[in-house]
A and B are shown apart, each in its own frame.
Chain A
Amino acid sequence: MAGISYFDCNVSIGRPKSGVYRPCPTAGELLAEMDWVGVDQALVHHALMRGQSPVVGNQVLVEEIAGEERLVGSWAILPPQTRELPQGEDFFTAMAQAGVRALWAFPMEHRYLLNRLTFGPFLDQVAERRIPLFIPRNAGGTDPVATWQLVSQLLAEYPKLTLVLAAHGPWGEDRYFRPLLERYPRFYLDISRYELDGGLGELVSLYGAERLLYGSNFPANAMGGPRMMLARAEISEEARRAIAGDNLRRLLQEVQL
């Protein structure tokens, strides 16, 4: 696998209050695990961005990964109406200053509706600036139907949004997401829990390798599983290289802040 550089799109650090069997509190521990399994870079968010508030967590994330060249930061968003985060242009300027190039939305934890009514022109800006927006599997609730309905609705309202569904669960959810891959060229999947035997090969042959991003959902999940799965998937070396890291690198390069 020489020459393939892995860039994990979905890892977090911090001390979540519950729900994670063995958390990863620090960037140092994250980097050690990346070294262990052979992963070069990671797009990171912080547990406080989700479990507490982006007002606190976004800043903590920046501090925790400062100076770590292999780690790229991401921030969480909140509805503009409550004015808790910098508004409009200021938000994107702050992202640029902090070296942050991707966003997360946690509508369940932060109790809002992720839709056009709430986010209006802000998400138009996110789409235009090609900033990837990540949402977790529970974005619409614990029932997968609710999350896929949310994704379906959000993409109908913002068809140009670069949207990544993270860690969608070990049950193959192809019957939900394949129509979305067909319709929306800026919709992406993090493959961290896409464990379906033969699944990756089929998705690559149907939709191309561009739509898939390597991820681990660490530390909730072990890094070794997706790392071995992608290393051995029955796809071309070109597709493997794209999924492993080049797709995410391309997405982050396209971001205009």
Chain B
Amino acid sequence: MIDSPIAREFLETGRCQSCPIIDMHAHYGPFSGIYMPNHTPEQMLATLDRCGVELIVSSGHTALEDVVRGNAEMLSITERYPGRWYAYLVYNPHYPAEGQAQLEEYDRHPTLVGLKFHPSMHAYPLTGEAYRPALEFAAARRLIVLTHTWGDSPYNGPEHLAQVAERYPEVTFLAGHSCHGEFQKCMEVARKYPNVYLELTAAYAVRGLIEQMVETVGAHKIVFGCDLPWFDPHYAIGCVVMAHISDGARRAILRENALRILEGRRRV
């Protein structure tokens, strides 16, 4: 059986003392198309404890629908868990005035580390003019932008990602789901641009992909996420720790890369 001490420890205890996880792609709250048993803050915290997750960064489900109500809600929740729970501010290009006001209002918010874009859900291209104010804001502050990406998408495919990465080198882009379905092109983008990272939510389930990412892009360009409260982190962890990669690569993906990305961006 698998010879990795990290994998063994997760299998036997559910956690890994030497490799607490940093989850860069989480959400919060109930959501339209899915029943989620564990979506309250207390339930999510219990899941983090159970799975050895040290820290998560979330965008609220309410914020994906209603930025005004939802961003305020998400930030107020993260404030209750300093050092454990951080937030992305959702920017919806259809609400530029509200977005601008929120960027200004929450500019120095202690738990805010970046912005979340969901071009598919908002049916607006990542490269569109309406994202410009948010991207300029992120560039000026060297923020993280977690953007949803998906293959063969008119809104957020690998070409869109490459364009914004080129235009905003100061922004660290996390490619949520690694352009699921157009993995090869996404890997090329991540290899070409130092400011683009592959994020694993949903992509981790594709057999052989993590190995391919490590081989062609490098373990240093991959970060962990699992859309909590959607997916059981243990499923995602299993995919990473039982992939045919080194323990060094496992540590980089589960923890070290995210810590490096967050360095200097955390106020609490």
Residues in B whose Cβ lies below 8 Å from that of A227: 238, 242
Q: Does B10 contact A (CB under 8 A)?
A: yes
Q: Does B103 contact A (CB under 8 A)?
A: no
Q: Which of A189-228 contact B (CB under 8 A)?
A: 193, 195-202, 218-228
Using an 8 Å CB-CB cutoff, how does the interface string of B38-52 with A read, 1 for contact, 0 for none?
Answer: 100001000100110
Residues in A whose Cβ lies below 8 Å from that of B150: none
* A172 & B207 in contact (Cβ 8 Å cutoff): no
With the chains together, A145 CA to B34 CA distance in Å?
Answer: 13
* A195 & B238 in contact (Cβ 8 Å cutoff): no
Min CB distance, A242 to chain B, in Å?
19
Using an 8 Å CB-CB cutoff, how does the interface string of A11-47 with B read, 1 for contact, 0 for none?
Answer: 0000000001110000000000001111000000000
Given contacts A225-B205, A229-B235, contact A197 B38 (CB under 8 A): yes
Q: Nearest chain-B residue to A172 (Cβ)?
A: B34
* B34 & A228 in contact (Cβ 8 Å cutoff): no
With the chains together, A165 CA to B15 CA distance in Å?
Answer: 31
Q: Does B123 contact A (CB under 8 A)?
A: no
Q: Among the listed B207, B229, B243, which residue makes an inter-chain contact with A197, where contact means beta carbons less than 8 Å apart?
A: B229
Q: Among the listed B2, B207, B239, which residue makes an inter-chain contact with A219, where contact means beta carbons less than 8 Å apart?
A: B207
Q: Does A108 contact B (CB under 8 A)?
A: no
Q: Does A64 contact B (CB under 8 A)?
A: no
Q: Nearest chain-B residue to A227 (Cβ)?
A: B238
Besides the contacts A222-B208, A226-B238, what 19 more A-B pairs have beta carbons closer than 8 Å? A1-B11, A37-B1, A170-B231, A174-B35, A195-B205, A196-B35, A197-B37, A197-B229, A198-B37, A198-B38, A198-B43, A198-B47, A201-B37, A222-B205, A224-B240, A227-B242, A232-B234, A233-B232, A233-B234
Binding site for A on B (CB under 8 A): 1-2, 10-12, 14, 33-38, 43, 47, 50-51, 183, 202, 204-210, 212, 228-244
